[in-house]
Structure 1
Amino acid sequence: MIIKMITGLGVSKLSAYFLGPQGFALIGNFRNFLNIAHNFSAGGLERAVVKYGAESENEQEKQKAFISSLLGMGLLVCLIVGILIFSFSTYINRILFYERNFTQVIQILAFILPLHVLNIYIIALLKAFEEFQKIIRVHIIGHVLNLVVFALLVYNFDLKGALITLIIIPSALVFFSLYYFKAYWSIFSLFDWKAFDSKMLKNFGHYALMTLISSVSFPLVFLGIRNSIITELSEEAAGFWEAVNRIATYYLMFVLSMLNLFILPKLVKAKNNIEFKSIVFAFYKQIIPLYVIGLILVYFIREPLLLLVYTDEFLPAENLFLYQILGDFFRIITLVMVYQFHAKRMTISFILTDLFLAVSLYFSATMLIGKFGLEGAVIGHFITYVAYFLLILIYFRKVFIYPYFKLNK
């Protein structure tokens, strides 16, 4: 995590220095598109690969059905997505980059997308086989390689170099992933078109539906908000908004890691609502006070923070921190409850509340940009996460609200 943060800060500094706020905004657009392409191509199956890879490790027939279904479906979906990206590359370029022409970069992505997907699957299989040290090594190589290649290409080719880095690093990384996966290469020999399993595909569909709603809708929302800022205000303003979002990503990384590593496994094991409530309140007591202190610190050092991570061109972004931080506070105190949806596979509830969040985030931000300017985007962020918190609290009212009133009658 530390290396990821250091290299991420290095990439942000280089982007700010060589490309400015405008380039920063356009890189944000391409990152969102890349996330959408990855998630569609991989079928949103990363968690499914971890689950069924682990379950079938010692059962060859089950593993054969799993690998055949996964690689067969992955190859087919990846081919379809690649053809669509290549066919509509000019249209995609207009959405992402307006008058600039980076169609060739998008077309290259269409051809190398299978390497990206293969890397996603291999990392997920390493997780399934609990090869965590190997995963850490691959990630470290990826982060360092990304920083070095980004520095070289952005210096020589400006924005085009930055975009090329984003598509070639996952392609290069697959070879390192394959190297650390060499003890399991025999698993690929199990692939057989005839071993397609309809039951396995149905199980994949459950995970795909739950994952794709979130992993596709939010990149689309951020792309829409950023393009709204560009249209209503300027590319420079969109760069300021992107810069604050990137800083938020860094401090949220720590809390989200705790949720994934410690809270989610506890929620999976929780047998009733009392245990669920106890886990949530323990998180509030132990983690949230430290998180709040961190948020307050970020707010008060926002100016030197912007200078450290970016350049003085980005100083106007300091006006966006207050509502971003307030929104992120409600985001985390809500997410610890939302993880119950994942732990107990409450698919419909997760999809509906996630769609509410995505739609609310987009419309609140875009509507308030017209009224308050750039600050409207972060005000919308704050309002949306307060509403999301209230919605989730009402959903779990039998756990968090009703018992309180019964005790105080």
Structure 2
Amino acid sequence: MLQRLKSSFWSFLSVLVRAVVSLVINKLFAVFYGPNGITLYSHFQNLISIVTTVPDGGVNVGAIKFLAPAGLRSATYKRYFWASFLLNLLCIGLALLLIFSFPGYFLDVFLDTDAQFWRWGLYFAAGVCLLTLNVFLLSVLLSQRALKWHMLSTAAGALAGVLALYVTRGVWPLEQVLLLVLGAQASVFILTLAILGWQRLLPSVGRLRIPRSVYRGLGKYILMAISAVVCLKLTNFYIRDYVIAQFNLYQTGLWQAVVKVSESYSAVYTSLVGMLVYPRMAALANQHEALRKYTRATFLLVLPALAVGLLLVYLLRDWVLLLLFNQDFVQAGYLFDYQLLGDFLRMWSIILTNLMVIRTQVRLYIAWQVGSALLYIILVYLLLEPLGLEGVTMAHALRYAATLLFAVLYYNKFIRP
């Protein structure tokens, strides 16, 4: 019992640190660079996520599953560790190839001249590579329940980003500051690597032979993560680029401020679900009746908590925008209506959509991701012109209304007797 409480404490502290630091960084970008800065920072984060999502949401999820029960000196641990490391490098390389194959689409918004492209791109590639590998090392710490060290490294990376942004005080050009924040966060890779070495979690490379079955086991998670990149990250990048073209950086920044608030409380919620709900559901994966009862009870339990929490955000929306950004952003308060409705539907549906991941239903999961992304793009095209920025938030709400409906139908057909 004491060990579980200690684990929960370090997990909660890690989530809290990330959430607070995220809010502080948003605040500093708003103060130093205004709505334009928030727009480009959101774009930059989305660009990074194109590289990191498949390794983190695919390879690392599979790595945690296979490394956790394996002995540190076992061949299984060694094989899955280095297979995951190699797959991380492969995913990084392919994602960077995608980005640099279409520089006009992905990078032009950050650069004024073509002469800056290769130097800026080289720094970005180096930073995002180290950042992604650091996330892999953090997943190894999670697999061995080294939560205290995980929290320490996570906090160091987060605080390094804040410090890098603060010392520039808005004097540096924005495209350079973005790289500086990335570099500061990526440099923590050295600290995490040292922690793994000290904890003897780094297996040797000698006599390494990795069977194909290891790659096949990790491959299922990679496929689901790729669908998330294509259907979520690339879709968000495309929609933001489309909104910028229809309006401007300032107006888009107002919408992105509301999205940033949404991402902040959503990150806390999804992290708590990942720590408290998902592991229990995974443990019940082969116990149909117990899984059904636990999922239904949790699904109904989170309803009032979500409703109350998001209602408070709605009532305090002007104060929240002023606290997290500045006076320029208060005018974005009207965008909270449909954004909060969509967030409520999305967060509530997560309990049910997790069932597809737990049951490794790859085809259904990918089909759902593709359908959701296409629906969102179509709705934005239809609603943006007649409704303005509010059309994007309405499209967000309608998208996740459809997601919740799909999740309930899935539960009733495949889970409920």
With normalisation by structure 2, the TM-score equals: 0.88
Q: Structure 1 pair 15/268, CA: closer, same or farther in 2 (3 Å)?
A: same
| Separation (CA, whole Å) in 2 of partners of 1:386 and 1:87 | 36
Cα deviations across residues 340-386 of structure 1 (Å, max 9, x unaligned)?
11222222222211222222222212331122110000000011111
| Separation (CA, whole Å) in 2 of partners of 1:118 and 1:398 | 40
1:368 to 357, 362, 383: 383
Shift of 1:15: 0.8
- The correspondence of residues 334-353 of structure 1 with structure 2, limited to 5 A, is 334-353=349-368
User: What is the aligned partner in structure 1 of residue 313 from structure 2?
Assistant: 298
| Separation (CA, whole Å) in 1 of partners of 2:411 and 2:186 | 43
User: What is the aligned partner in structure 2 of residue 110 from structure 1?
Assistant: 125
User: What is the aligned partner in structure 1 of residue 161 from structure 2?
Assistant: 146
Describe the SS at the equivalent of 2:171: helix
User: What is the aligned partner in structure 2 of residue 407 from structure 1?
Assistant: none
| Separation (CA, whole Å) in 2 of partners of 1:216 and 1:185 | 36
User: What is the aligned partner in structure 1 of residue 340 from structure 2?
Assistant: 325
- Cα pair 2:349 2:407 within 8 Å, conserved: yes
1:199 to 213, 233, 254: 213
1:389 to 383, 404, 409: 404
User: What is the aligned partner in structure 2 of residue 181 from structure 1?
Assistant: 196
Q: Does 1:10 align with 2:10?
A: no
- Cα pair 2:27 2:325 within 8 Å, conserved: yes
User: What is the aligned partner in structure 1 of residue 85 from structure 2?
Assistant: 71
Describe the SS at the equivalent of 1:368: helix
Which runs of 5 or more structure 2 residues have no equivalent in the other structure? Answer: 1-14
| Separation (CA, whole Å) in 1 of partners of 2:311 and 2:105 | 43
| Separation (CA, whole Å) in 2 of partners of 1:100 and 1:303 | 38
| Separation (CA, whole Å) in 2 of partners of 1:145 and 1:240 | 27
Count the aligned residue pairs. Answer: 400
Cα deviations across residues 152-210 of structure 1 (Å, max 9, x unaligned)?
23523141243113420332110111122123557342255x61321111112111101
Q: Does 1:256 align with 2:270?
A: yes
Describe the SS at the equivalent of 2:172: helix
User: What is the aligned partner in structure 2 of residue 37 from structure 1?
Assistant: 51
User: What is the aligned partner in structure 1 of residue 5 from structure 2?
Assistant: none
Deviates more, 1:110-119 or 1:342-351: 110-119
| Separation (CA, whole Å) in 1 of partners of 2:98 and 2:348 | 39
- Cα pair 1:277 1:399 within 8 Å, conserved: no
Which runs of 5 or more structure 1 residues have no equivalent in the other structure? Answer: 404-409
Shift of 1:59: 5.2
Q: Structure 1 pair 354/205, CA: closer, same or farther in 2 (3 Å)?
A: same
Q: Structure 1 pair 174/151, CA: closer, same or farther in 2 (3 Å)?
A: same
| Separation (CA, whole Å) in 1 of partners of 2:269 and 2:82 | 37
Q: Structure 1 pair 186/9, CA: closer, same or farther in 2 (3 Å)?
A: closer
User: What is the aligned partner in structure 2 of residue 124 from structure 1?
Assistant: 139
User: What is the aligned partner in structure 2 of residue 228 from structure 1?
Assistant: 242
Identity in percent: 22
Q: Structure 1 pair 191/298, CA: closer, same or farther in 2 (3 Å)?
A: farther
Q: Structure 1 pair 331/92, CA: closer, same or farther in 2 (3 Å)?
A: closer
- Cα pair 2:160 2:185 within 8 Å, conserved: no
Q: Structure 1 pair 191/170, CA: closer, same or farther in 2 (3 Å)?
A: farther
- Cα pair 1:280 1:336 within 8 Å, conserved: yes
- Cα pair 1:40 1:81 within 8 Å, conserved: no
- Cα pair 2:161 2:185 within 8 Å, conserved: no
Cα deviations across residues 36-67 of structure 1 (Å, max 9, x unaligned)?
02235669311112122223334532233323
Code of the aligned partner of 2:397: F
When the two chains are superposed, the root-mean-square deviation of aligned CA atoms in Å is 2.5
User: What is the aligned partner in structure 1 of residue 61 from structure 2?
Assistant: 47
1:315 to 330, 337, 357: 330
2:222 to 208, 214, 222: 208
